[in-house]
Every structure is written in structure tokens, then in C-alpha cells.
Amino acid sequence: MKMRPVLWLEDTEAGWAAFRYARELAALRGVGLVVVCPRGLADRVRSEAEAAGVKVEVRVPPEAEGVVSLLRAAEEEGGEIVVAAHRTPTGKVVLGDRVTTVLLNAPGPVVVFKPPRKVGG
């Protein structure tokens, strides 16, 4: 079983920190990475994955089907989903509507990557 991590990427500092985490997870496991993200992020994802020697499959879903595409990818891979939470300047953790939806609907484990303080501020 290949079990590639499936990352839900948003263009925030916390999102890219989650990307680096997922990339490292894939490298340690010796597998590739699946990234579900908006089209505008695809090039940067490819170049940053390649730079670390990790094969990446980028999936750009239509806006409205983002969560469903993510869940489908996770189902196919049989591995975990990685999503980013955000931190406010006072240190509150904000999951947001989409992360909560992913948690409640994921077919398997979900890694909620919490940035260290300040990253989300």
C-alpha cells in the first residue's frame, strides 16, 4: 500500500507550514504526496516538492468541490489527510468551517497541523 499523505493546501503561512510537514512525512515514508489546492498554487507546490526530492500529484478541484475531492483522494490513498489550523495573535486556534468539515467527514486519520504561535497572526 502506498499511503501517500493527502494535503489540503491554502495559501497562508500556516498552510505552507503544513505543506512542509506533509512533504517531510512523505519523504520519511518514501512515498509521494498528494496536494489538493487552488490552481494558482500548483507551480509552487511542484517546485517545492521537487526541491525536496518528493514526487507530488497536484489536484485542482473546482471551487465548490474542494472538500469532496479531498475526501475522495484520501479514500483512494488510504492514508491520512493533513490540514492546517490557524492561530490568532492571542494564540487562539481557529479551525474554520472547512477543517471542521474535513474532520467530520474524513475516511481515515486527519492530522491538523497547528503552527507554532504567531504563524497565523
Binding flag, residue 96, another protein (CB under 8 A): yes
Under DSSP, the state recorded for 108 is S
Q: Is 47 in the site for another protein (CB under 8 A)?
A: no
Q: Does 60 bind another protein (CB under 8 A)?
A: no
Query: How far is 121 from 119, CA to CA, in rounded Å?
Result: 6
89 binds another protein (CB under 8 A): yes
Q: Is 90 in the site for another protein (CB under 8 A)?
A: yes
* 27, three cell numbers: 519523504
Query: Rule CB under 8 A: is residue 88 a binding residue for another protein?
Result: yes
Q: Which is nearer to another protein, 59 or 98 (CB)?
A: 98
93 in contact with another protein (CB under 8 A): yes
Q: Site for another protein (CB under 8 A): how many residues?
A: 14
DSSP helix/strand/coil, 12: coil
> Stretches 17-25, 59-67, 76-84, 91-99: which one binds another protein (CB under 8 A)?
91-99
Burial 2-37 (b: 16+ CB within 10 A, else e): eebbbbbbbeeebbbbbbebbbebbeeeebbbbbbb
